[in-house]
Each structure stands twice: as C-alpha cells, then as structure tokens.
A = this chain, B = another copy of it.
Amino acid sequence: MATKHDKPKVGEEPARQDAPPAVLALDLKPGALSPENRAYFDKCQEKLGFVPNVLLSYAHDDAKLTAFAAFYNDLMLAPSGLSKLEREMIAVAVSSVNRCYYCLSAHGAAVRQLSGDPVLGELMAMNYRAANLSARHRAMLDFSVKLTETPHLIGDDDREGLRKAGFGERDIWDIGAVASFYNMSNRMASAVDMRPNAEYHGQAR
C-alpha cells in the first residue's frame, strides 16, 4: 500500500504488477485499520473500483485517516448552497494554480463526471478564465483563485462581490472552505509526491 514508489521511466517496461503500486515517496508502512476504515475502503473498492491513493497515503496512521476522511466528506458531500460540481470546480481551479498533479487528475475526473462535460474538466485544469462561465461561477472561481494566490489581499470588497453574484453568507463560508482545503491538499500531495490512481486519467473523457 503506502510504500515508497519507484516511478516507471518513460518508455521503460512497467513495473511488475504482483506488488501493489506505491502511492507516495515516503517509506511508511501501512498501519492497522479500524473496522470503520476497513469498511470505508471496501465501499470505495465496490463503488469506484479502487481505493483513492490519498486514502492509502493516510493509511499509515488510522487516526489521521479517520480525521482526514471525516473532514473531507463533510466538506465535499454535506448539504451546501454549492452543488457537488461547483465544489469540484473550485478544487480543480485551485489545484491548477498550485500545479498539483494528484488533485488535477482526481478532481478533474470528478468535474468531467459530475458535469457530463469533458471539456469543462480540461478548462478548469488549464485556465478557467478561458471557459464561458456564468457570472456566478466566474465570481466563485475568481474568489477562490485570489484566496489561493494572495490570501492577504482578500477584503470586504471580495466578499461583497460574492454577495452580488447571488451567494449567501453560508455559501461564502463554503467557497472559502473548499478553496482553502485544496490549498492544504495540494501541498500535502506535493510534500509526499502522492501519485493518482491510474483509473482517473481515462474517466469520463
């Protein structure tokens, strides 16, 4: 599971498949999983066909895995004025600023799937400003990217801009929370060189 990887070189033979693929650049032994986390992994396997490598990466420490998964699931799946697609659009636009290979792969796939629009996923990953977005979505992503690039410059005008685009107080919290989360997650992935599951690349093209 979470063991130090040797990435196959371009043009080389792929590594033999009898060992589980490595998912990060640290030599961390997988820890014992709680029954709840074991069930969570089983559910991932059943529904997605694989366990996302970000979860395998945290599996060296069951308590950290639990805390991360709870935080993540509330953020991305709990009821919100933002649709799940909108939350994924923020995830990808932020990950594009931070050039995070893991998150662009995984959440780019999510945008393609949730929107049914493969090109929308590409646009979020490449340059969201090239997309023909609604005023709501443009304001949402402009705020998220400014918060990513220059958080110290965010001020009342920026929040007011979101209100004018139709977002409520709680929506502003949620936009801030999702954009902030991917600034953490992008960096965690970079810190340990987390590798995306191969399945993401071809999904929903």
Contact = CB atoms under 8 A, between A and B. Distances in A.
Interface of A: 7-11, 25-28, 60, 63-64, 66-68, 70-71, 74-75, 78, 96, 98-101, 104-105, 115, 117-120, 122-123, 125-127, 129-134, 137, 147-148, 151-156, 159, 169-170, 172-173, 175-177, 179-181, 183-188, 190-193, 198, 201-202, 205
Nearest to A200: B122
Contacts of A147: 187, 190-191
Given A63-B78, A130-B193, A173-B191, 12 more contacts: A7-B131, A67-B71, A70-B70, A98-B152, A100-B151, A101-B127, A105-B126, A151-B191, A159-B193, A176-B188, A180-B187, A184-B184
Interface SS of chain A: helix, strand, loop or mixed?
A: helix
Contacts of A127: 99-101, 152
Contacts of A123: 101
Copy tally for this chain in the complex stands at 6
Contacts of A130: 101, 193
B202 A176 contact: no
A119 B152 contact: no
